[in-house]
Amino acid sequence: QILEWIEGKERNIRALISTLHTVLWEGENKWKPVSMADIVTAEQVKKYYRKAVLVVHPDKATGQPYEQYAKMIFMELNDAWSEFENQGSKSLF
């Protein structure tokens, strides 16, 4: 399921954030779906990236059945965030 989520969105932080709700485990209710319109500016991307990382942080999932799953999502988001920063953290408009 994570591979399907990543496919075609590799290193694209906006695409990953806007579809994060499709890969979260059952019972995860802290994350509310985000539309692309909500992550146009670099500041918005940073805000939602931080929220996403709080939800999937491996430390919060320790001992849970979804621990490895959360770790994989976390790593993918981190890689995409690094790429976003390396590209200059540009707004869409």
CATH class of domain segment(s) 2-86:
mainly alpha
65-91: pLDDT as tens digits? 999 999 999 999 999 999 999 988 877
C-alpha 21 chain-centroid distance? 9
Please state at what angle helix 67-86 crosses helix 42-56, rounded to 10 degrees: 160
14-71: pLDDT as tens digits? 999 999 999 999 989 899 999 999 999 999 999 999 999 999 999 999 999 999 999 9
Q: What is the rounded distance in angstroms from the CA atom of residue 85 to the CA atom of residue 38?
A: 18
Mapping DSSP onto H, E and C, the string for the chain reads: CHHHHHCCCCCCHHHHHHCHHHCCCCCCCCCCCCCHHHHCCHHHHHHHHHHHHHHHCHHHHCCCCCHHHHHHHHHHHHHHHHHHHHCCCCCCC
